[in-house]
Amino acid sequence: MSTITHSLRRVIFRSGAPRTVAVADEAPAAATQPQQRGGLEIAPNDPIIGYFQSAVGAVDIDGLELDSPALDELRAAGVKLVVPLVTQGELIGLLNLGPRLSEQDYSGEDRRLLETLAAQAAPAVRVGQLVREQQAEVRSRERLDAELAVARLIQQNFLPRQVPQMQGWAVAADYRPAREVGGDFYDFIDLPDGRLGIVIGDVTDKGVPAALVMAATRSVLRASAQRLIEPGAVLERVNEHLCPDIPENMFVTCLYGVLEPASGRLVFANAGHNLPLVALHGATSELRARGMPLGLMTGMSYEETEARLQPGAQLLLYSDGITEAHDPGREMFGGPRLAAAMAEAGGGDGGRLISALLERLRAFTAAAAEQEDDITLVAIRRMPAAAELADFRLESAPGNEREAIARVELALAGEGLEPAQMEQLKTAVAEATMNAMEHGNGFDPERPVRLRVLASAAEVRVCISDHGLGQGDLRTAPPPDLDAKLAGQQTPRGWGLFLIRNMVDELHEHGDDDTHTVELVLHRDARRH
């Protein structure tokens, strides 16, 4: 026994890849191979695998005649006897022995002993292999999850926290990352003279590298936008910046536009991104501009296109995550289907359009399907022209909200609102006016609250302005906790915002240096319950 264990020089075990056999133990002194632990790699097509797999008991290496590179290697390593480790019909390793120290041949008893050892060792080695494989799998999954989390973090850190609020416009955006985060991004940039820079883009590739390129693109674009204004020149500059540093095989599609809210004028340039859609009066059209994606080659120029968004028009920017989504039959959602869905969705603010499009997409892909790629949607709507039915000011004094609702009701008397809608609007107007008088103007008699009542074919809008700074985002304030209030753990107050939010179809707020305005919107076609 001691002779055998002494001359048992190598245990070869299978590594992760099937049919790849590696040496685990130290090499014999006589061996000339440089690899100490790298091991013997047996090619999957080496005939010796089939031979060992079907061999019964120990195999004499010197007696073998096979055209096998692995056999040559075993001989070169001084191996005389091999006991294949086979379990469940699969070769999982080799027990290799050099010459006996006594220089005699291995006896029948030696062989029986080795075969017994091999029969017991094989399943044990296999279990060890499985454990190692599983551990490696867990480690790689953990690493992947951590990478995904980092990519998601980068991505979400660079997306705008809120959408811009502009008088006469409604902006909405939605970003839905796929499980393996892609490189979608969008951005809004405040420019001089009240203009707004609008960005949407998509980095090819996924994960951390794409997220980093996205972050770099966004920063360069933001810096260039302030200095250059012209969208074509901005994209040109960004392209020059990206080209030297961007990893090979990666590029960025990006659309950049500058909007003048007062006139509806939109000038944009396009670096290979999906063409934006404009819907007006139930018809949809594409806005076109040509240009190569960013980061491919230097010296590119970008065509500029000018469009005018009419009152009531809806502009949609999107990423290919929506158009290239598949149904269970592998058919793509596609641009025409998106345009049709957009025309069908009709008026309302961008939030309504986005939910309608996502709803349509869900129905197309079948709800269970995992989202294939990031989906980004940015909807920018110019509000329809409206008639002004009233414009008045009220002193900021407790109780004056009653006068506000009386005058709003009077102004809307001929508008044919359902009585229930009118009641809801009155409650919202009362609450918003109270907030404006108390929190905005501090009940200062010198600072009146201004109310404007506007009506268009699609909606009724009441704008309530004060001289305060607003109280944070009205739309995301947490709802009151009635249980805590009843238990005396919270003040019983704090219902105003909650009531406003629940009484109207849309709620907007915007402000400048000395006024803050809340807009309450009721859709004429909406029936609230």
Partner 1 sequence: MATTLEARVRRGDGIATVALAGDVDGGAREVLDAAYTEAAGAATLLLDFGDVAYINSTGIALIVGLLGRARADGVAVAACGLSDHYRQIFEITRLSDFMSIHADERSARAATQGGAR
Binding-site member from 349, 401, 466, 506 for partner 1 (CB under 8 A): 401
Segment 12-19 long-range contacts (CB within 8 Å, at least 24 positions apart)? 12/39, 12/40, 12/93, 12/94, 12/95, 12/96, 13/92, 13/93, 13/125, 13/128, 13/129, 14/91, 14/92, 14/93, 14/129, 15/39, 16/132, 16/133, 16/136, 18/44, 19/43, 19/44, 19/49
Nearer to partner 1, 294 or 417 (CB): 417
x/- binding map, residues 328-367, to partner 1, per CB under 8 A? ----------------------------------------
Closest separation in Å from C-beta 439 to partner 1: 12
Candidates 33-41, 354-362, 451-459, 491-499; binding stretch for partner 1 (CB under 8 A)? 491-499
492 binds partner 1 (CB under 8 A): yes
3-state secondary structure of 389: strand
Nearer to partner 1, 1 or 487 (CB): 487
Cα–Cα distance, 317 to 379 (Å, whole number): 6
Binding-site member from 399, 416, 445, 478 for partner 1 (CB under 8 A): 399
478 binds partner 1 (CB under 8 A): no
Question: Sign of the CA dihedral 396, 398, 401, 406?
Answer: negative
Nearer to partner 1, 143 or 402 (CB): 402
Supply φ then ψ for residue 253, to 5 degrees.
Answer: -90, 140
Cα–Cα distance, 324 to 333 (Å, whole number): 6
434 binds partner 1 (CB under 8 A): yes
245 φ/ψ sector (left φ>0, alpha ψ -120 to 50, else beta): alpha
Nearer to partner 1, 319 or 421 (CB): 421
440 binds partner 1 (CB under 8 A): no
Quote the DSSP letter at residue 347: S
Is residue 408 within 8 A of residue 451, CB to CB? The reply is: yes
x/- binding map, residues 410-429, to partner 1, per CB under 8 A? ----------x--xx--x--
498 binds partner 1 (CB under 8 A): yes
Binding-site member from 480, 506, 508, 520 for partner 1 (CB under 8 A): 480
Candidates 173-181, 201-209, 294-302, 490-498; binding stretch for partner 1 (CB under 8 A)? 490-498
Closest separation in Å from C-beta 523 to partner 1: 18
Residue 125: exposure state from Cβ atoms within 10 A (0-12, 13-18, ≥19): buried
What are the residues binding partner 1 (CB under 8 A)?
A: 398-399, 401-402, 420, 423-424, 427, 430-431, 434, 480, 482, 485-488, 491-496, 498-499, 502
